[in-house]
Amino acid sequence: MHPGHPIADAHRFQEMPKIVLLKNMRHCIRYMYGQKENHVELYEAIERRRTIRIFKGPATEEQLRKIILAGTKAPSGRNTQPWEFVIIEDQSLIDDIANIKYELTLKLAPVDGTDRDKFIKMATAQKDSFRNASVLAVVHKEGGDAGAWLCIENISLAAVAEGLGSGIVFYAPEEKAMITELLDFPGGYDLTAVLKIGVAGEQGYQREKNPYAPRRTEFSWLHKNRYKQAK
């Protein structure tokens, strides 16, 4: 075995710091069982996931199918699997869905006109975030929204494992109905969300520097037996 081979170097483990030792042990296990070197640990994927708003390119068809398949492994009540997926490649459809988000954000601006420029800037950025990304609509049968959201979480983490970025686009009920109609869904189906997936063109906000809100102190949200308001 050549120098540097994970098993050939096993005799050097005792001289290594513990953290290096653990990493090399995982490397050996992956080598023996033929696991790919781009394997991402679950907790690492959770920590690395960020909302991406700028993309350099779309996911491949193979990546999308693999990511969606991971999504369908999510739990659902009575194993109903209420989800449906639409990979949207028609640019006119993508433009329509992006414009619906743009108009929705403008509707949220104060009626007195204050902060109008701020909302226009925000809406434009949201519309532009569809550029260069693969666009995936997740739709669920009525009453199946909880399972669909668990599915989306799986998809978001699977995208990280594939080295891709993702972003979730939320819509209000009226706009959801507009999109399900655009996608030719019959009655009895609701839009869960629209996902953008692709090669990240930015790192996304660091958790401690998110401009929308600071991250809550760890375990400040944890209670035992009953809710206790923080003092």
Q: What is the pLDDT of residues 87-96, one digit of tens each?
A: 999 999 999 9
Do residues 17 and 87 share a domain?
no
Q: How confident is the model at residue 13 (pLDDT cuts 50, 70, 90)?
A: very low
Same domain, 1 and 96: no
215-231 mean pLDDT: 90
Give the range of the structural domain holding residue 20, as residue numbers without chain letter: 1-39
**Could you tell me which of 40, 30, 37, 75 has the C-alpha nearest to residue 164?**
40
179 shares a domain with 133: yes
**Does residue 74 share a domain with residue 5?**
no
Task: Report pLDDT digits (tens) over 138-154.
Answer: 999 999 999 999 999 99
CB neighbours of 180 closer than 8 A, spacing ≥ 6? 139, 189, 190, 191
Residue 163: predicted pLDDT: 97
In this structure, is residue 174 part of a structural domain?
A: yes
For the chain, the domain total comes to: 2
| Owner of token pair 């369908």 | 72
Angle between helices 145-161 and 61-71 (to 10 degrees): 140
In a domain, 55, yes or no: yes
Give a yes or no: residue 222 inside a domain.
no
pLDDT of residue 29: 44
Higher-confidence position of 37 and 68: 68
Query: Both 161 and 69 in a single domain?
Result: yes
Of 162, 129, 206, 157, which Cα lies nearest the Cα of 49?
157
User: What is the CATH number for 96?
Assistant: 3.40.109.10
Q: How far apart are CA 165 and CA 106, in angstroms?
A: 26
- Confirm whether 228 is domain-assigned: no
Q: For residues 146 and 128, state if they share a domain.
A: yes
Answer yes or no: do 32 and 55 share one domain: no
Q: State residue 113's pLDDT score.
A: 86
The 3-state DSSP class for residue 136 equals strand
Shared domain check, 60 and 150 = yes
52 and 116 share a domain? yes
What's the pTM?
Answer: 0.82
Mean pLDDT of 172-188: 98
